Every structure is written in structure tokens, then in C-alpha cells.
Amino acid sequence: MRTTVGIIGAGPAGLLLARLLHNAGIDSVVLESRDRAYVEHRQRAGILEQGTVDVLRAAGAGERMDREGLRHDGIELRFAKRRHRVDFPGLTGGRSVMVYAQTEVCKDLIALQLKEGGPLLFEAEALAVEGADSESPLVRFRHEGREDVLECDYVVGCDGSWGVARKAIPEELTQVFERTYPFGWLGILADVPPSHDELVYAHHDRGFALLSMRSPQVSRLYLQVPEGTDAEEWTDEAIWDELERRFETADDWRLERGPITQKSVTPMRSYVHEPMRHGRLFLAGDAAHIVPPTGAKGLNLAVGDVVTFARALVHLKETGSAERLDAYSETCLRRVWQAERFSYAMTTLLHRTPGATPFEDRIQLARLDRITAARSAEQDLAECYTGFPLE
């Protein structure tokens, strides 16, 4: 089998890249190790930046998102029983975000790819990337019980942090930057309408909490818990009690409870792999970088990566110049490090580190006070949250 671009991984990054290339008249093949049902139901991110929304619309993948997604024009910060709304359009010149789950993005892109695009092979396990530094790299993969080879002009690894793509870059050429946080998020899905119409980020001396949603009928909520926590250690009643404590306000706001349908614990980690390119192998999304979910950046960073690659390949096709492809890693990493900075800032602003001193607690409150009192600080938060420019 031969193609121009071999794409490993059918998450939102790989699927969107296939769509962008199809629209540009460039052929691709997508290899996904899991089955279609798994890809369409794995719970991940749910906040789309303005730039991501614009890209999906331009790619022809925004119809259901615009119909069913929830546009949000702000978030609420809570601390010391106080409430402060951050007005995104007023601080950013009109930008907003969209609540639309990654599962739904994948469903939309899969349907388009199967209807209009090139081959999308589920249960096709990539085994190795070979010849990345040659003009004809290839991907060895297993599909339907037999091994095969996908010959490519370029390979894009969208196969996550444990995939084969990153392993194909020689270790002596790489630098890794990472930080592991001593806490995680206990997340739940609950069949109850959200108790607020926008996301609520709560700082509390017992730990962080987040009120989010998947739809007008389904709430998504999170609690900061110690690293290594087993979700099953928490009863449903204990989860609601703790959420209620951490979201407490001085007014008459109340948290609505409902049946919990899913609970899990997400570890908190920051990770960057440099470079994001080796020869004709390009890394995108979690294969190259991971951010803690506090800043809602993971999915959106992956979109930025594949948009950068697609634009660079189109530029090569139209002009014969590989200048933008050669600059892929540098271009992406500028955006990645700004997202890492923002995600780190939000995480350290809102979470209570085990063993934190009273001085450190007061510094957090002072940082929150600064955001609520100074337009410049609030504007920086709004601009970062709604998204960095897609270069």
C-alpha cells in the first residue's frame, strides 16, 4: 500500500489532518489500532478554542458542532466563597470557546472520512516507523491478522504518548521536558443538568474543583485528589458532598445532584518532546506534548499541530518550497510552550499542593485577587484560554 501521508492514530488530530489533506487534494491513509466503537466513545477533552472551532467549520466538519455544541462566553472563578466571571468576548475582541466533546468531534470526522476521504483502517496496529530520515519512510502495521507495509512520502504520528512514532526518533537527538504533579482529578459524568451555565473553576483549601458539562442534561465535574487515588474508593454521596463543599459561595447558589454514570481518575502531567520532527516523520498531539487539563489545551494543541503540517504541505505543493515543513517543529513548539506555561499557571493557581505553607496559600489568593482586580491580568487569562493564534 502506498500514499503521500501515512497517519498513525485516528484521534481528533489524525482524523482532522486526513480531512485537511483531503480538502487540499493530498491523499493519505489513517491507521488506528482500536476499533471504531472505542474511538467514538473514549472520553477526553470537551473545550474547543475559537481557532479549533474555526478550523472545523472551514474543513466542513462543523455542522453538528454548531447545532449541538454549547458556546461559552466566559468562565467563573471561585475562591474564598467569592464568584468572579471572566468575560471572554469583552476581553479578547469577541472570541469564545465551544463545549463539544472529543468523542463527538471524532464521530463527525470519522463519518466524513469514510464517506469522502481516503482509507481509514481500524484495528490496524502500527508496529514500527522505518526510514524516517529517507525520502520514502514506511510504516509496518498489522491488520486483519497479517502484517503489511504502508509506503509514504511523509509519516505523521498522532498515536499518543505510548505510540511507535516517537520511538522512531533516535534518543540521542531528543530532549524531554516533564513535570509530574502530586495530585490528580477524580472526574464524574452525571445525569443532571449543569448547576451553572458556564464552567466554574474553584480554589478551596481542601483542593481544586471544576464544574463542567457535556450537554444541557449531562454534567461533568472534577475533584482534586491525591496522586494514585482509586476512583472506586469514593462513594457517590462522598463525591457530591465534597463537590458541594468546594463550590460553596456566600450567596444562594446550589449544586444539583444526580445519578453518577461514570467516574475515573486522571493523572496530572506536563511533557514536551523536542524536536517534533525527524526527517519525514512528524509528531502531533500527545505524541509530542502533554498538558495538565486545567487549561483545556490538549485537544486544541493537537489541532494546531496538524493545521501547521497541512498548511506546510500545501505550501510545498503550490510553491515547491519546503521552508514551512522544515520549520514545523520550531513553529509548533512556540505554541506548545505558551500552552504549557498557561496550563502550569492555571494548575498552580487553583490546586493546593500537598504540604503547602500558609505563605504559599496566601500567594495563590493574591494571584486570584490580581486577576479579579486588574484588567491586564484578566485579559491574559481570557486570551490564553480562548486560544493562541494558529500560525
Q: Is the pLDDT of residue 146 over 90?
A: yes
Quick one: pLDDT at residue 388? 85
Say if CB 271 and CB 315 are below 8 A apart: no
- The catalytically annotated residue of 154, 293, 328, 351 is 293
Q: Rounded CA gap, 284 and 299, in Å? A: 11
- The catalytically annotated residue of 100, 181, 201, 328 is 201
CA 102 to chain centre: 8
22 is catalytic: no
- The catalytically annotated residue of 100, 222, 328, 385 is 385
Stretch 262-278: mean pLDDT: 96
Q: What is the pLDDT of residues 25-48, one digit of tens each?
A: 999 999 999 999 999 987 777 899
201 is catalytic: yes
Q: What is the pLDDT of residues 281-290, one digit of tens each?
A: 999 999 999 9
Q: Which ranges in the chain are annotated with CATH 3.30.9.10?
A: 182-267+352-386
The CATH architecture one would assign to domain 182-267+352-386 is 2-Layer Sandwich (3.30)
Task: Residue 200: name the closest of 239, 238, 249, 237 by CA.
Answer: 249
Give me the percent of the chain exceeding a pLDDT of 70: 99
Q: What is the pLDDT of residues 51-86, one digit of tens each?
A: 999 999 999 999 999 999 999 999 999 999 999 999
Q: Is the pLDDT of residue 18 over 90?
A: yes
Give kind and range of the element (H or E) at residue 28: strand 28-31
**Chain mean pLDDT for the chain:** 96
293 is catalytic: yes
Residue 250 per-residue DSSP state: S
The CATH architecture one would assign to domain 5-72+97-177+269-346 is 3-Layer(bba) Sandwich (3.50)
CA 13 to chain centre: 10
- In Å, the largest CA–CA distance within the chain is 65
Quick one: pLDDT at residue 108? 97
Stretch 150-174: mean pLDDT: 95
Stretch 250-273: mean pLDDT: 96
- The catalytically annotated residue of 12, 22, 72, 203 is 72
Q: Which ranges in the chain are annotated with CATH 3.50.50.60?
A: 5-72+97-177+269-346
12 is catalytic: no
Quick one: pLDDT at residue 132? 97
Model confidence at 390, in pLDDT bands (50, 70, 90)? confident
- Phi then psi for residue 71, to 5 deg, are -70, 130
167 is catalytic: no
- The catalytically annotated residue of 289, 297, 328, 351 is 297
Stretch 174-181: mean pLDDT: 96
Cell 485577587, residue located: 369
Q: Is the pLDDT of residue 177 over 80?
A: yes
Quick one: pLDDT at residue 92? 97
Angle at which helix 12-23 crosses helix 298-319, to 10 degrees, equals 30
Strands 277-278, 281-283: pairing kind: antiparallel
CA-to-CA separations, 167 to 89, 161, 173, 245, 328, in angstroms, rounded: 42, 10, 11, 45, 19
